């Protein structure tokens, strides 16, 4: 899968499509999923053009990688679902077999209720 500069997340980053933001900084943007699968369902995307986790860890700077993951911890605190507040799940689909639908790296954060089994 190659990077599509017109994918929905690229359009959100450019401000062409609105979103309900949770958090943003110079490295990431986080916003509520438009079709939530759990009580809390938020997406976290890097600002850089990375197709998936493999692409990100290969091409991103160490600073981008660290700040992306630090942002997740910050976001779950904002959402009040940190480990001290009940917990959460982070998920990233990679490639066709992994169920990736958008060619921009994104993590799903689920929380606010019992999530259930990892794979059904």
Q: Are 13 and 45 in contact (CB under 8 A)?
A: yes
What is the DSSP track for 12-75? Answer: HHTTSS---EEEE-SSEEEEE-SS-SSSEEEEEEESS---SHHHHHHHS-HHHHHHHHHHHHHH
Question: How much is the pTM?
Answer: 0.93
- Would you please indicate which residues are annotated as catalytic (active-site) residues? 106
Summarize pLDDT for 10-38 with one digit per residue, the tens.
Answer: 999 999 999 999 999 999 999 999 999 99
Summarize pLDDT for 75-92 with one digit per residue, the tens.
Answer: 999 999 998 899 999 999
Which domains, from first to last, does the chain contain? 8-111 (3.30.428.10)
Q: Is the pLDDT of residue 2 over 90?
A: no
Q: Which pLDDT value is given to residue 115?
A: 92
Q: Is the pLDDT of residue 1 over 80?
A: no
Q: Which helix (H) or strand (E) holds 8?
A: helix 8-13
């Amino acid at each position: 899968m190659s990077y599509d500069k017109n994918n929905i997340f690229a359009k959100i980053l450019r401000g062409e499509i609105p979103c309900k933001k949770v958090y943003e900084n110079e490295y990431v943007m986080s916003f509520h999923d438009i079709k939530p699968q759990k009580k809390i369902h938020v997406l976290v995307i890097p600002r850089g053009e990375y197709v998936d986790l493999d692409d990100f860890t290969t091409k991103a700077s160490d600073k981008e990688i660290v700040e992306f993951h630090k942002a997740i911890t910050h976001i779950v605190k904002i959402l009040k679902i940190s480990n001290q507040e009940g917990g959460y799940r982070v998920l990233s689909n990679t490639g066709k077999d992994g169920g990736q639908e958008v060619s921009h790296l994104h993590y799903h954060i689920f929380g606010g209720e019992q999530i259930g089994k990892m794979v059904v």
